Amino acid sequence: MEDTIHNSSCAPAPQDASKTLETRAEEFFRKWVPPAVLTGVSLWALFAGGFLAYHSWKSGFIVRIVEEHFPGMILVPMAALMALCIVLLLRWTAGAL
């Protein structure tokens, strides 16, 4: 009986041994992708804003196109990007949704 009690007290397994390659990849993904996406979206927004400002100042053709198709050209892509940013920020700070 003492033998069975002694055998049941095993040392805990190391934490690194329980992680598989997939979980380490997921951990890396969750750590680095949201900041990369947020940085990319910010850079895209700066580029798009600069492009529109430059071409609007130089000639007015971009202004006319944006005025005629504002919801499709500006609002839909920006709404999608904002939704992506909100989901990534919530997942990054609070965990899985």
Cβ pair 70, 84 in contact under 8 A: no
Q: Report if residue 13 sits inside a domain.
A: no
Tell me whether residue 39 is in a domain.
Answer: yes
What residue numbers bound the domain in which 31 lies?
A: 19-94
Q: What is the pLDDT of residue 91?
A: 80
57 within a domain of the structure (yes/no): yes
Domain assignment present for residue 43? The answer is yes
The span from the CA of 50 to the CA of 45, in Å, is: 8
Q: Are 88 and 34 in contact (CB under 8 A)?
A: yes
Tell me what pLDDT residue 14 has. 55
Domain count, the chain: 1
State pLDDT tens for residues 35-83.
Answer: 888 898 889 889 988 887 787 777 777 778 878 888 888 889 889 888 9
Cα–Cα distance measured from residue 49 to residue 57, given in angstroms and rounded to the nearest whole number = 12
Say which residue, 42 or 6, is predicted with more confidence. 42
Alpha-carbon gap, residue 34 to 67, rounded angstroms: 33
Nearest Cα neighbor of 91 from 43, 18, 40, 38 is 38
